Structures are given as structure tokens and as C-alpha cells.
Structure 1
Amino acid sequence: MLDRVSAALYRRRVAVLWVSAVTLVLAWTGGLGVEHRLVHGGFSDPGAQSARAARLVAERFPSAGDDLVLLLRGTTDVDSPEMTSLGTALTRRAAHTPGVRAATSYWTAQRAPSLRSRDGSVGLVTLSLSGDEDDRAKTADRVVPDIRRHAQGLTVLAAGPAQVQSEVGRRTAHDLLLAEAIAAPITLVLLLLVFGGAVAATLPLVIALLSVLVSRAVLNALAGAVPISVYSMNSTTSLGLGLAIDYSLFILARFREELRAGATVQEALGPTVRRAGRTVAFSALTVALSLVALLVFPQFFLRSFAYGGIAVVLSAAAGAVLVLPALLAVLGHRVDRYDVFVRLRGPARRTAGPAAAPEAGRWYRFATAVMRRPVLYGGGVVVLLAVLASPFTRVASGLFDDRSLPASSQVHRATQLLRDRFDADALGTVPVVVQGVGRDRVQNLEPYARALSAVPDVRQVSAAPGRYAAGLRVRGAGPAAAALVDGDSTLLLVVSSVEQNSSAGTRLVGRLREVAPPAGATVSVGGRAAEVEDSTSAIARATPAAIGIVVGSSLVLLFLFTGSVLMPVKALVLNTLSLSATFGAMVFVFQEGHLSFLVGSPPHTGTLDATIPILTFCVAFGLSMDYEVFLLSRIRERYLCTGDNTESVAFGLQHTGRIITAAAVLVAAVLFVFAVSGVTLLKLLGVGLALAVVLDATLVRAVLVPSFMRLAGRANWWAPGPLRRLHDRIGLREDA
């Protein structure tokens, strides 16, 4: 069938290019304005207990909300008449801003000590905002500049989740443009180095442009039905460019190889589409199925990567298999015009096809040397990867906060000021909503409040009956107690002595949830630590299903591709080794701060964002399967001709080693550019994926694969009779 496809592409090459041009224009039009339809947030589980608590607090106790925190500092003490007048006026102004549910400040809340810095120089205004995370971020964009314009000489700093989301959104958009500006010239130079000719170097960029624009149009269409994260744009751009380079390089390398073997342009397109094109299509399917696994998670941050990633993978593959051959049919031998650097050359003489004598190139000799001592080389790499993976045993999960931004950012400085100069109430308050205990039963809360106050790491508990500490009532109900009751719901404010976004914070949430609630009542524990706990728990619950999708689809597809039972298992084991090493490096650098100067010295909090390892797993696993399929396609092609396992491995590495290495360098360069981002989340994802690609393309493909296949010998290609017959009927074979 693919022979007919290649023949059709040659005959209709001009028509294919016209259709591609129209598609490009339609995709560009369909993607216009997509950046304005993407939303903030998506890191938490919307069905979790913490999310329910947040909704109840926003709806019934808005005065307790702290979506946006304004720090006001003047030239006088916060208790001075001047500051009192101005602080009160600014609080009232903020309260009447659209999107603000309630505004509370030091000057309107009976001068609560928790809203005043210990030195008396800074007072707080806390705002509860309406809407979802994206709405709250947009409200913060309006409120903060307005307050600053009317602050009459006061210094106004902004903190809180809404301000973090707002600043992250701005920096993400800025960093995307910066990364593209840096990546473009680097990528162009690397493409010229790899492809040699200026004409050939531009072809992957054409395919990348097509895939990115199509994926943007898809995201724009989906944004009208489901929330799409702002981060998906970054992934779409980098993944689209990387995969377009991968697939284009493989197609171009095969086309050039056929031309240099003496084939005409039409003759060269046949094996290019039949063999390289099939491999690209198969590789894209494995990547897409790896990304499908992200759809099992409740966080739309992860789901957004699946939407954008699947779209860009399939469009990159379609461009490489359909559009690129049409371009090659038009260009023919002119694809090598305008040589700038020494080309990545294949065999110069005409060969007799795949069954020709082995070539003694550098990669062939390297593979042969590895296979002479497979235990030594393979064992050494396994030990190295195990050492790199060992820090992952110390992983501590969290979610991004202000410290995901540079220490110089305004919201980071404001939040650090809260940590340094305010009591723990300012950042360490955990809201606990009790439903079923209304105003008429408020005294029934006392035993529960006492029990909460006796939990380790709890400083005090404020409830309608009074204030509690260490299991004792230390103060009776004050004037603010009435605001803690609404209908059949009551709010308790638990002040902790530990950082919310930390392991200690999540342990505290677990202990609070273990306290028996009042009879007939339902309790919802909220706050940042609860959100972290619930999000990591949701990820943990969904991870087995995600791994099952990735592993199961890879096993099936690799069996259909190779007809072997051992090959898919080998691929899974080796991919797991390289990914474990990547995760260990991420913990070592980003969580613990070692060698962080290599990636711009990002702030480290002692935790790793819970969403990144699973996202890295799905994306990097798919990319590593790309290289696995590229290598196995040539090994199997040779093995079917010779039946010599060892020679086939060396032959396969000789014909793909340079291609895989070049592709990995290009993809890693595109991804590593995100190390310049000021948002640690993007930096972590880009650097993590770049490292995974480099480890896989070098240590795994060049050393572990030859070592393993040499030790396994003919067992590499074994399958039981029923499976072998199944593969004969439905298998995807390179020799077909």
C-alpha cells in the first residue's frame, strides 16, 4: 500500500503542496487569538476535599478568603491616623471592584494582629475573589494597578495565589517568546550542521511550522469546550519543533541514502515512504498513545498537554510522511544544494540494497566493540544510571507557588516579606469547614476545636465558641465569631507552625483529617497544604492507569512492529532506567539545589512539583520510543536479510546512530532553551526532557541496546507460535 502512496505522492506532488499550503493558511487563521483563550491554574483536583472547602469558603465566608493579599507600607506606623485613613479607604475601594467578593484589612478588622507586621510598618488587605483560577488572576490584574494608582505615596506589594497566577502567566508568555528567539538561530545552525545544505535544513522547519500551527488551531477549537492551560503553548511549540526535526531527519536520511545508491528521485521515494515513512508513522502512534495517558488525570494542566501534544505529534507525522516526500519529489537532487557545512554523509558508492556487505563505519565499529564485552559496557552504564536515579528515592512532592518565580519577582518578594515579618497566621492558616453544625448547635464544636488545637504543629484554632490552643480554650467568643457561622456551616481557622507547601504541611493535613468530626457533621479541610495533599493523591491514584496505558500500548505496538516478545520488554526496561536517572537528576538539582547554577540557579523549596514527573514520564517515554523504533527498524530490516543478530545490530547502529544522535542534539537544544525561563516549572520540564532525550539517545541506544541484544542473541526475535502467527497476519513489518 505504501508503494502506491509514494507513487501517488510523486505524481500529485504539486497538488499535495497546494493542499498543504491551504492547510497552513487555514491552521494559521484557526489559531489566531489562542493565547487569549488559555487559562491559568489546573494543578489541583477539582473533585477533592480541598476544592470543596475552597468553594464553601468563597461562597459562605468570603471575608476569610485570601486569594489576593496587598501589603501596604508607608512612612509612618500602620496605627497612625494617616495610615488608618488611607488603609481604610483603599480597602473599601478594593471591596467595590468587580470580581471582589470581600475585602478585609488591618484597619477594618479590629486591628487583628495577624494583619500587622511585627514591627508595625506593614498592614495587610486580604481579598476574596470570585470565579475560577483564571478569573481570579484577571481580577488581580485589575485590582493591583488600581490600588497602586490611589495609594498616595504608599508602597503596595501583592501576594496570594491570584497574583502568583497572574505573574506566572505574564512570565510564561514572555519566556515563550524569549525561548523561541534563542532557539531559532541555534536550531538553524544545528540544522545546517546536520543536513549540510541550506535547502535540506529548511525542510524540517516547514514541517515544524505546519505541525505547530495545526496544533494551535486544535487548541483554539478545544478552548471553547474545555479549559486549556497556558503552559500547553510552550509544550506545543517545543514538541512540534523537536518531532518535526526527528521525523524529517529520518525521512531525509533515507531519501539521500537511496539517491546516493544510484536511484532516481521516483525510485528513491518508494523505500523512503515504505520503510522510513512507515517507521515515522509507527513512532508517532507510540508517542501519541503515551500522551493519551495524561487524559486519565483530573488536573486540566496535564490534560492540556495531552490535547496539544497529540495534535502536534499527529500533524508532525502527517507532514513528514505526506508533505515532505512531495517536497522531495519536487526538489530531487537539489535537496543538497547550497552546502554550508560538511554533510552527514551516507555510503558514497552504489550498494546492492540491504543485503550488501557490512560497512565498517565509526558506529559499526563502536557497536562491535560494545558487543565484544556486553557485560562490561552494559553493566557499567546500568550502574551509572542507577547512581543518577538514586536521589529520586528522596523525592518530596509539592505544587508550584511564588517560589516558582525568580527571587527578584515582585510576588516572590511580597510573599517572602509575609514569611519573614508576619505571624504564622498570615501564611499558615488552614480553613476547616464543618457542615451540619449551624448557629443553634455552635457549642457542639468545642470538643472538635479542642481536639484540632491539640494536633502537633497547630498553634491555635479560632472557632465560633472561642479560641483554642494545646487542647484548651484560651479565649471566649469575640466580636468576629458571628462571621464564622453561615446557616448550617461553620468555619474554623487552624493556624499552623509549618510551611503549607511542604511535606510537614501535608502531614499536618492528614492529622487534621483524622480528628473525629462532630456527630452528624461533614468536615472539609482546605488550604494550600490540603491542595498539595489532594493533588498528589489524585496523581498517585491515576498513575497506575497512566502507566498501564503507556506500557500496554508500547508492548502491543512494538510486538506488532518486531514480532518479538523480548524486544518490547527490553525497550520498557531500558526506558525505565533512563527515565529513573532523569528523575533522580531533577530531584538532585531542582529539589535539593545541587549544581543548580548549571540551570540558572532557580529557587528550590525542598519539593518537586507533583505534576512534572508524570508529565516527563509520558512525553519522554514517547520520545524514547521514537529512537527505539528508528533503531529497530534498520536492525530488523538487516536481520530479515542475513539472519545474523550481532551483525544486524552493528548495521542498524551504523545507519541510525548518527541520525539519532543528531536528532537528539537538536531536540535537546530546543528543550534546554527553556532553562532561560524565569518560571521554575517550565525550566524543570524543559531541562528534564532534554536530559531524558540525551541519556536515551546516547547511553541507552548506543550502549545498552547493543549489549542487551548481544547477550540475548537469537532470543531477541523469538515469539511463541500463536503470537508469531498473529504477527504474520496483522503485524507491521518493515519488509512488507
Structure 2
Amino acid sequence: MESLARFVLRHRLLVVLGWLVTMVAGGAVAGTVTDRLSFDFSLPGQPGYEAEEQLIATFGTSTADTLVPVLTVPEGSTVAERQADVAGVFEAVRTAVPSVRVVDLGSTGDSRFVTDDGRSTFALVQGPMPAGFGPGTEAQVQPAFEQAAAAAGLDTGLTSYVLLSAGGDTEGPSVLVETLFGAVGALAVLLFVFASFLALVPLLIAAVSILTTFLLVLGLTYLTDVSFVVQFLIALVGLGVAIDYSLLLVSRWREERAHGRGNDEAVVVAVRTAGHAVLASGVTVAISLLALVIVPVPFLRSMGLGGMLIPLVSVAVVLTLLPALLSKVGPRVDWPRIRHDAVAARGWTAWARLIVRRRWLAAGAAVLVLAVVIAPVFGMKIGQANSASLASSGPPFDALQQLERGGVGTGVLTPIEVLVPDDQAEAALRAAGDVPGVRMAVAGGSSNGTTVVDVVPESETVDGQSIEVVNDVRAAVESATDGSVGVAGTGAIVQDYFSAVYDTFPYVLALIAVITFVLLVRTFRSLLLPIKAVLLNLVSLAAVFGAVTWFWQEGHGSGAVFGIEGTGAITFWLPVIIFAFLFGLSMDYEVFILARMREEYDATGSTRAAVVTGLGRTGRLVTSAALILFFSFAALASSPGTDIKVIGTALGVGILIDATLVRALLVPALVSLLGTWNWWLPAGLARVLRVQPSPLVEDRQERTAEDRPLTRV
């Protein structure tokens, strides 16, 4: 690290010019990157996905979203009396939009397409696989449907899962606006920390990091598909991470200058100490994300690859461009110097002394609060949001309410498509129709020797409990036929994600934990501290998922804050992404605090001094860094779409829980309790990892009175 710092100082002009060129290039291609991002949610090799591909190849239609047009006859008449007019409306839709498959009362003769009051009927309409998030099949179906219904004097409604998801939530601020919102919040925190124009420097570093990452992602899009979600993560996670790393390095530089070092020497010491912590943190975040390549889901893999670039680029910019800027203009922009860094923060030092004196009480209080927050996680459901949480007003909501009042359940939103050979269609129809929880099973068409059977469950199939009917339908049809059965639909895709993601997730967790442990052993020169860090990260993540379950799934506050009722389940891919980001980001604060504690212990031989001085020096930085990330994630939560809001709130709450309960209370309490064992690294393991060993020695804090003032602050 010292060699790197001195190299940068010798060539600072070239370093600055190089990053300037990269930043300009990144800004020029940012729009192109957005256009090249993928909306691919494929699951190669999974049975539901393969059945979906067969459905598309055979009939040209997809279950990505099933439109449910609803016709209501005038009061005083019934659907049976107007059956010819009703059939004509749906036939008009088939004629106007030949690419869709329409299954209705007229095509099947099944009276269960009619509501209990006899005045409304519905159809199932499926179109080609959408290419993105723009207007889909409904843009063609709706005008044709409404025009034909108006000519027949019938009232209309149109609903679907996607239309309900979009209810009132299709618009939101752009990525640029969100980034500016996060930057304003970060600037406010930086002004408090530095109280000088130096607060602008981390924002400059963040801008370079974000635009450079966009440039690298552009190159990545030519090698593999990259998910559209990456653009939000680059802008907002990149903003927070780059500023956090800059904050640590700049603060250490100011501290060294306050202790009398020359400017360049202060830069070198800051890179050698704080820069080492930044490198360890960035690599940990990158590994957490890169581990997603183990998951056999293309869009999660792409998010892992794209997300990995965020911390790596931030580390590169912070360890090269930032030292060059501090060496050249640092002292001049550090004006007016209202806040000084010659001594540790008094408030945090007093807090650390209190924790050391009451370490058992502090640890117990933190564990108790965390247990309360974690408790809801045992009720967490994985799947998709239920329809009740998607919209509470608007035409799609009204159409669904019309069906529900008529005794038609929400299962019409997520029909199960069963593909069987033509000669086994009748057996499949009878078997599927007899399954408990199924409203009806009808023949939806035949092509190239294959019949598609549309099975409408009573309730939507969106989570781990409700998809059981999909298993029952598959088992019933397979037993009634020769077993050549393909089952597609929302429920089948949810099952695929369970299989693809969560069957491999333990391997992801193990890989991240092992590699992180090895990195931290080298960073802390300790065996116990890395074990504690990994375990506390898992505890912190459990608390986050508990909070997400309570707030989003159970709806305690989501309606008041976002106007979205309880989702009933957490979308299947969100826990993996939240875990990957938070595991690394939370470890940042562990590294910042414990690296400084290790440094102080090496200087004093006292665990008490290490805790008091380490927390006194890093407490304000960690809480400030957490606030900066919180503002970034708050901006992310303003994005359109419930899933992005869940990510934003989960990451924001996770950072706050981690920086307060875990790192500012539980970590110092545990370090104080474990004493000299914190710093032990056996010689044999040290040789393997090529670091200096750390033998067990008598801790000086054992010979120091609890209230004796520390001489080295």
C-alpha cells in the first residue's frame, strides 16, 4: 500500500488525467449502457421454464402476463341471454390481435367463465413474450376489446397481475434524479464531518467511480447479458460506497496532518492504514457479489458480475485518484477548518469507555433488541407479492373486484398451462379439473399435435404455500397420462426459482463466508475476530430480513410510507440480492472499526485502549458513512416498482441496524469481553497466509484500572 501511494504521488498528473479521460468516456456512454441492459428472466434447464419455451414455440404465446378482460351485461339481462354478443366481442379481439390466444365461454362452453350473478363473464388472453417493460399485449387488446363491447352495449373491465402491479406506480424519478437526491444527502453529512470545502472531494470521487463503472459495464454487455437493475445499483450503491471509502481515507489524512506530518507523508500513512481497510472492504463486497455466478439464473449472475464492478472501481479510484488530489490540492480545499482531527471524538470515546465498563449489559441489550427484530423472519414467505398488495384503486383493481364479488377467485391472474399430446387431452382435462383448489380446467387450443389445457386455480399461485396446487395438478395429470406433461405458468416459474436459487444458495453462503474469513484473517492478523465478523454479519442480515418481513410482507408501515399494502411474500430473487450486497457492505464497517482497533492494540498491548481509541476514532466515521449510504438507498426506494423499493428499504434499514446495534454496541462489547483472545493468530496459520503471527500475551487492560485515563488518544 505504501509503494502504491508513493507511485501515485510521483505520477499524480498522469493519474488525474487518466481518470478524467475515463470519467468523460463513461459519461458519454452512460445512455448507451441503459439501452443495452437486459430484461432476461430465463431459467434454463428448469421444468417450468422449459414448458414455457414449449408453449411459446407451439402457440406463440407466453404466460408472462395473462390478461383477464371482463364483460358485464346491462342490469336486467344475463350473460346467457346475451351469449351471442359476448362471443362476438371476444371473436373481435381474436380478429384484431391474431397474435393472442383467447380462451372464453364461447370457445369452451364452460359456464364457470360466468360469475355467480350471471351478469359478468371473463376470458383468458395470452400474447407473445414481452421484450421489456413498455406497453405489452394490452396496448393492442384493450382498444379492440372496448370498441367491440361498446358496439354491443356491454360494460368492460381489464385486469392482470402486471396491470395491478403497475397501478399508480409506473412513473418515478429517473436514475439521475435519484442519484442527485442521494448526493445532496451525502453532501449534508460530509459537511458535518469535515466542516470545510473538503466535503466536495468525496462527491468528485463518487462521480468518477460511477461513470467509470458504466463504461466497464458497457464492455461487459458485449460479453454477456446484464440486468436492467444494475443501472440503479451502479448509480446509488456506487455513490454510497465511493463516498464511504473516501470518507475513511480523507479522515485519516486529516488526522495525520493534525499530528504534525507533512502533506505527502500524511497521504502515504493514510493509504497504508485506512487504504488497507478500504481494499479489504472493497474486495469483500466484490466477492459477495461475484459469488452469485454460482446461482444458475442468468439475470442474477449478471447482477453479480455488474455489481462486482461497483466496489472494485470505487477502491481503484479511492486508492489512486484521491491520494493524488489530496497531495496537490488537499490543504487548500480543507478550509475553513472548523473541525479538527488531532484527538478522537469526545462523545464516541465516552461511549466506548461506557461499553467497556458495562460490556455484559451492552452485549445483552444488543442481543435482546436484535432478537426482537429477527423474530418475524421465521414467518417470511418467498414468492411474489399477492394481488391485494399491488393496487387499491384504478380500472384493473375494479375489474378484479367485479370478478371476486361474482365468486371468481384471484387464480384467474395466474392460470396453470398444461401441455399434453392431443390424444391425452381429455384425460388431462378430467384429472386437472378434479384437483382440490382448481376452479376449472378447459382446452385452450391445439397445435402441432399438442394441446394446451388452461387450469384456473381458485387462488393466485405466487408463494411457497399457494403453489402447492401446481404440484397437485402436475401429479394428477402425469398419473392420468403417459407422463409427457409440461406445466407452465406463474406458479411453475416460482417453483423453478425455488429450485434454481435456493438449492444452490447454501453453496453461495459457504463460498462467501470462507473467502471472507481468509481475507479478514490476513487483515486483522487474528483467528477469532474474522469468525466473529462473519457470524455478526449473518445476525445483522437476519435482522434485516426480519424487518423486511414485518414491514413489507406483513404490511406494518408499507401502506403508510409507500401506499402499498402488505405483499404477503417477498419476491423470490430479492433475498439473494439483498444478502449479496449487505454482507459485503456491512463488513465494511467491521473492517473500518476492527482494523483501527488492531492498530491501537499493536501500539498499546491493551484491549481496553484498542476499543476506546478505535471506536473513538471510527465511530463518527462509521455512523456518517452509514447515513450517506442510507440517503443513497432512500433514493433507490423512490424508484418505480415495488421490488426496487424493497431493495432500497432493506439495504437502508440494514445499514442503520449494522452501524448502530451491531458495530457501535455489540462489536465493542464482544471485543472487550474476549480480551487478549481477539488478537491471537497461531504461527502455523500465519505462515500459510504469509502474515506476521500474533501470539497470546497478557493483556495490559488486566493490569489497568477501569477508570484510569488513557494517555494515547
Say if 2:326 is the partner of 1:346.
no
2:267 to 257, 266, 269: 269
The one-letter code of the counterpart of 2:27 is: W
The one-letter code of the counterpart of 1:394 is: G
Deviates more, 1:272-281 or 1:159-168: 159-168
The one-letter code of the counterpart of 1:651 is: T
Change (3 A) 1:273 1:31: same
2:485 is paired with a residue of what secondary structure?
strand
Partners of 1:419 and 1:200 in 2: CA distance: 60
In the TM superposition, what whole-angstrom CA distance separates every residue of 1:680-736 from its partner, at most 9, and x where no partner exists?
21111111111111111111111111111112111111233310223445899xxxx
1:396 to 356, 381, 391: 381
Say if 2:417 is the partner of 1:431.
yes
Q: CA RMSD in A?
A: 3.3
Q: Is the 8 A contact 1:235 1:305 kept in 2?
A: no
Displacement of 1:273 in angstroms is 1.5
Q: Within 5 A, what are the aligned runs for 1:281-360?
A: 281-337=279-335, 343=339, 345-347=340-342
1:478 equivalent in structure 2: none
Partners of 1:438 and 1:57 in 2: CA distance: 14
Change (3 A) 1:407 1:202: farther
Displacement of 1:532 in angstroms is 1.5
Partners of 2:542 and 2:677 in 1: CA distance: 27
Q: Within 5 A, what are the aligned runs for 1:167-246?
A: 170-171=170-171, 174=173, 176=175, 179-197=178-196, 199-246=197-244
Partners of 1:494 and 1:170 in 2: CA distance: 30
Q: Normalising to structure 1: TM-score of the pair?
A: 0.84
1:104 is paired with a residue of what secondary structure?
strand
Partners of 1:242 and 1:144 in 2: CA distance: 44
Aligned pairs, number: 684
1:262 is paired with a residue of what secondary structure?
coil
Partners of 1:370 and 1:618 in 2: CA distance: 31
Q: Within 5 A, what are the aligned runs for 1:130-169?
A: 130-131=128-129, 133-134=130-131, 139-140=136-137, 143=140, 147=144, 158-160=158-160
Partners of 1:656 and 1:703 in 2: CA distance: 13
Displacement of 1:375 in angstroms is 1.6
1:470 equivalent in structure 2: none
Partners of 1:417 and 1:231 in 2: CA distance: 35
The one-letter code of the counterpart of 1:9 is: V
Partners of 2:400 and 2:460 in 1: CA distance: 12
Deviates more, 1:292-301 or 1:390-399: 292-301
Change (3 A) 1:217 1:158: farther
Say if 2:619 is the partner of 1:657.
yes
Change (3 A) 1:144 1:250: farther
Change (3 A) 1:106 1:120: farther
Change (3 A) 1:586 1:67: closer
Q: Is the 8 A contact 2:521 2:527 kept in 1?
A: yes
The one-letter code of the counterpart of 2:373 is: L
1:582 equivalent in structure 2: 544
1:381 equivalent in structure 2: 366
2:227 is paired with a residue of what secondary structure?
coil
Q: Is the 8 A contact 1:675 1:687 kept in 2?
A: yes
Q: Is the 8 A contact 1:40 1:165 kept in 2?
A: no
Q: Within 5 A, what are the aligned runs for 1:654-733?
A: 654-729=616-691
Q: Within 5 A, what are the aligned runs for 1:489-504?
A: 489-504=450-465
Displacement of 1:610 in angstroms is 2.0
Displacement of 1:195 in angstroms is 2.5
Partners of 1:509 and 1:396 in 2: CA distance: 17
Partners of 1:290 and 1:64 in 2: CA distance: 34
Partners of 2:86 and 2:400 in 1: CA distance: 21
Q: Is the 8 A contact 2:386 2:569 kept in 1?
A: no
Partners of 1:367 and 1:621 in 2: CA distance: 25
Partners of 1:524 and 1:207 in 2: CA distance: 52
2:97 is paired with a residue of what secondary structure?
helix
Say if 2:616 is the partner of 1:617.
no
In the TM superposition, what whole-angstrom CA distance separates every residue of 1:358-416 from its partner, at most 9, and x where no partner exists?
x6832222112112222211012112101110111111111257666553466555555
Q: Is the 8 A contact 1:638 1:648 kept in 2?
A: yes
Change (3 A) 1:83 1:287: same
1:555 is paired with a residue of what secondary structure?
helix
Change (3 A) 1:232 1:460: same
Q: Is the 8 A contact 1:386 1:577 kept in 2?
A: no
1:627 equivalent in structure 2: 589
In the TM superposition, what whole-angstrom CA distance separates every residue of 1:1-36 from its partner, at most 9, and x where no partner exists?
x33322232232222111111011112223332222
Change (3 A) 1:268 1:148: farther
Change (3 A) 1:185 1:526: same
1:457 to 430, 437, 440: 437
Partners of 2:519 and 2:405 in 1: CA distance: 55
Q: Normalising to structure 2: TM-score of the pair?
A: 0.87
Displacement of 1:74 in angstroms is 8.2
Deviates more, 1:706-715 or 1:605-614: 605-614
1:9 equivalent in structure 2: 8
Partners of 1:14 and 1:513 in 2: CA distance: 67
1:566 equivalent in structure 2: 528
Partners of 1:20 and 1:91 in 2: CA distance: 57
Say if 2:95 is the partner of 1:92.
yes
1:602 is paired with a residue of what secondary structure?
coil
Partners of 1:36 and 1:247 in 2: CA distance: 30
The one-letter code of the counterpart of 1:550 is: I
Partners of 2:138 and 2:285 in 1: CA distance: 38
1:45 is paired with a residue of what secondary structure?
coil
Displacement of 1:94 in angstroms is 1.7
Q: Can you give the 5+ residue segments of structure 1 that lack an aligned partner in the other structure?
A: 349-358, 463-480
Displacement of 1:521 in angstroms is 2.8
Displacement of 1:119 in angstroms is 5.8
Change (3 A) 1:572 1:4: closer
Partners of 1:219 and 1:406 in 2: CA distance: 35
The one-letter code of the counterpart of 1:715 is: W
Q: Is the 8 A contact 2:209 2:314 kept in 1?
A: yes
Change (3 A) 1:593 1:138: closer
Q: Is the 8 A contact 1:563 1:727 kept in 2?
A: no
Change (3 A) 1:419 1:546: farther
Say if 2:581 is the partner of 1:596.
no
Q: Is the 8 A contact 2:198 2:330 kept in 1?
A: no
Displacement of 1:158 in angstroms is 4.9
The one-letter code of the counterpart of 1:192 is: L
Deviates more, 1:386-395 or 1:521-530: 521-530
Partners of 2:470 and 2:124 in 1: CA distance: 23
1:605 equivalent in structure 2: 567
1:129 to 122, 127, 130: 127
1:10 is paired with a residue of what secondary structure?
helix
Partners of 2:148 and 2:220 in 1: CA distance: 41
The one-letter code of the counterpart of 2:520 is: L
Partners of 1:593 and 1:375 in 2: CA distance: 35
Partners of 1:235 and 1:564 in 2: CA distance: 33
Q: Is the 8 A contact 1:430 1:495 kept in 2?
A: yes
* Identity among equivalent pairs (%): 30
Displacement of 1:563 in angstroms is 1.9
Q: Is the 8 A contact 2:389 2:568 kept in 1?
A: no
In the TM superposition, what whole-angstrom CA distance separates every residue of 1:538-588 from its partner, at most 9, and x where no partner exists?
221111111012101111100111221111110011111111111111111
In the TM superposition, what whole-angstrom CA distance separates every residue of 1:270-308 from its partner, at most 9, and x where no partner exists?
101111222211210011001112222233342232133
Partners of 1:228 and 1:403 in 2: CA distance: 31
Q: Is the 8 A contact 1:63 1:127 kept in 2?
A: no
Q: Is the 8 A contact 1:242 1:667 kept in 2?
A: yes
Displacement of 1:181 in angstroms is 4.9
Change (3 A) 1:397 1:460: same
2:602 equivalent in structure 1: 640
